[in-house]
Structure 1
């Protein structure tokens, strides 16, 4: 019997669609044409990343499942599944007030440190540590918040909002959209209790990403635009946190615009992000979010890749200041950028370089790469040149690519 990875992409889509959903039904649910679905199931031509995301969303699965990198309902290992269950329980139970038994919650300072550790684990792609730290903060933090007043209550509200946000980010990255939205709902409730426009803006940037992953690109742009208008700084007077949040929102809007192939809008948003980064002058981090010149440059490469302007993307990637990424750049951000570079290299016919870049990513972030769409897209394009080469790459990174 063939394993899930041995099936073609078209056969996997057909299997996931099942007998209860017709091709016309899948086309309607994914907002793609019937011809696109028909060609996909017949393995005729390559699906774009946007089409893959739309089909995965309509089938309520992950892109990695469609590409054969994970089997249905068994994609994550036991440790990951346990971590996500723990995280889900913490998100929902803390919001519902189910923290009985926590009689001596940690101090505000200790909870803040645990929140920071959760974000560090997220950017290192360590789901189990994210769950461990976030669970502690959400349960103990809500227990302490129940009796807190004044400045302590405001501090706790911000710590909790940021922790719900890291939980949402982790869930969204792994394809658990409902958990992500639930966590963001709790985060926004807390953020609204505190006068911190930067936290509210960063929550909206995460919401924009949730909509983007769910292929609701128009909504993703609208959310980022709305939040940017609310915090839009006067560049001569703006605080550094304002510049960071505004720049991150402009990146979110640019990415979403590029996914709907709106080049003019993407360039406009990107220019605003570059302006904010230039005003900052250096990379900074706040509430688990990094922004500055490095983020603006690396995100620009991904945006041009999404717009299929591969030459421009490679020209940016080959600039002297892009050759050595700063050591402060997180593992997730670094490897997401490298996947964009690998796709641009592959599309430009630089197949050996694309393969080498893909191997770098797989070895640096073996668990994270399993949940990404681009390795499968790159692998299928490389397979048109050399199937054996792709199999070697698959073996090297531990992810089936064809």
Structure 2
């Protein structure tokens, strides 16, 4: 039997489309042209990341499945499936009030620490640990929240909202859009209860990312722009939390605009993010979100890659202040940035450097990289020079990169 990874991208798309959907139907649902769908199924030309996102959304799958890195309805390790089930149970049962039997919930301080540990595990790409801490905070936290009053109730609302947000972020990374939206819905209700507009703005940046992963690009831009305008600080008097929330939403808007190939809007949003980062002057964390000058610069590299400004992306990546990334930068953020650099390298003929960067990412985050679209795109670029080397890299990092 032919393995999923051994098929071409075109054959995988055709298989996922199935006999019940025509090529025109796929074009209509995805918002792509019929000609592009036909070329994709015939393996003529390379698909952009934006087109891959739209096809994956229309086919109710993930980009990694189209690229052969995962097989349909499989693709996840047993530990990841168990962790996502634990997340799902915690998100739904806590919101529905199914927390009977928890008579002595942890203190506000202990639950806040567990929330922080959930975020740390998320940025380390440790899904099992994320789900363990999230389940504890949501179940015990809801019990304490229901009986709390005054400042304690507001504190618990903030802790719970941030924890639902990490659940939404983790679910989105695995393509579990419905679970992510359910978690975010609970988070938004609690953020209003906490009276924290900054947390509310950060929740909108997560919603923008969910829409981005679902290929709802105009909506992703609109959500982030609206949230940014709502929290936009006075740059002379704005608080640091406001600057973080504003900057992160401007980054979200810029990323989504770049996927729409709207370079003018992407540049405008990016310039506003840089202004907020410069005002902060250093990297800071808030509600599980990091933002500052380095975050703005690394995101700028990815935005220019999406706009196919590969030379500009490499110029930014090789600037003196980007030679050494901060030790505080999370594993996920660091490797996501390096994948952008690898794609820029491969797209400008720096094949050896691209291969080295891809291997570095794959060895540093072997589980995380399996769920990313860019390794397959990079592999296709490298295969123009040597398919044998690409297969070797795929074997080395545990991700099938080409057929």
TM-score by length of 1: 0.99
SS of residue in 2 equivalent to 1:19:
coil
User: What's 2:114 paired with?
Assistant: 114
The corresponding residue for 2:51 is 51
Map of 1:293 onto structure 2? 293
CA–CA distance in structure 2, aligned partners of residues 19 and 104 of structure 1: 55
Residue 273 of structure 1 pairs with residue 273 of structure 2: yes
- After TM superposition, the structure 1 = structure 2 runs for residues 130-149 of structure 1, keeping only pairs within 5 Å, are 130-149=130-149
**1:2 CA displacement:** 1.3
Question: In the alignment, what sits opposite 2:351?
Answer: 351
Please state how far the C-alpha of 1:233 moved relative to its aligned partner. 0.3
Question: Shift of residue 25 of structure 1?
Answer: 1.1
Q: Deviations over 1:176-208 (max 9, x none)?
A: 111111100000011111221110000000001
* Whole-angstrom distance in 2 between the partners of 1:128 and 1:36: 39
Separation in structure 2 between the aligned mates of residue 328 and residue 209 of structure 1, nearest angstrom: 23
Q: In 2, distance between residues paired with 1:55 and 1:310?
A: 24
Does residue 91 in structure 1 map to residue 91 in structure 2?
yes
Aligned to 2:370: 370
- For the pair 1:400 / 2:397, whether they are aligned, the reply is no
Cα-to-partner distance string for 1:323-352 (whole Å, 9 max, x where unaligned): 110100000000000000000001100001
* 2:104 paired residue number: 104
Mapped to 2, the partners of 1:106 and 1:60 lie a distance apart of 40
2:166 matched to which residue of 1? Answer: 166
Alpha-carbon deviation of 1:137? 0.4
TM-score of the superposition, structure 2-length normalised?
A: 0.99
After superposition, where does 1:186-201 map in structure 2 within 5 Å? 186-201=186-201
Tell me how far apart the structure 2 counterparts of residues 243 and 372 of structure 1 sit (CA, whole Å). Answer: 29
1: CA distance between counterparts of 2:86 and 2:172?
A: 15
Deviation at 1:16, TM superposition (A): 1.0
Other-structure match for 1:323: 323
Is 1:7 aligned with 2:7? yes
Displacement after TM superposition at 1:24 (Å): 1.1
Q: Give me the whole-angstrom Cα distance separating, in 2, the residues matched to 1:175 and 1:29.
A: 18
SS of the counterpart of 2:366? coil
What SS class does the counterpart of residue 300 from structure 1 fall into?
A: helix
Coordinate RMSD, CA, aligned: 0.7
Structure 1, unpaired ranges of 5+: none
The answer to whether 1:338 aligns with 2:338 is yes
Match of 2:150 in 1: 150
Q: Deviations over 1:202-229 (max 9, x none)?
A: 0000001111111111111111111111
Measure, in 1, the Cα distance between the counterparts of 2:66 and 2:262.
27
Q: Deviations 1:128-169 (Å, cap 9, x if unpaired)?
A: 111010010001101111111111100000000000000000
- Residue aligned with 2:194, SS: coil
Provide the aligned length of Structure 1 versus Structure 2. Answer: 402
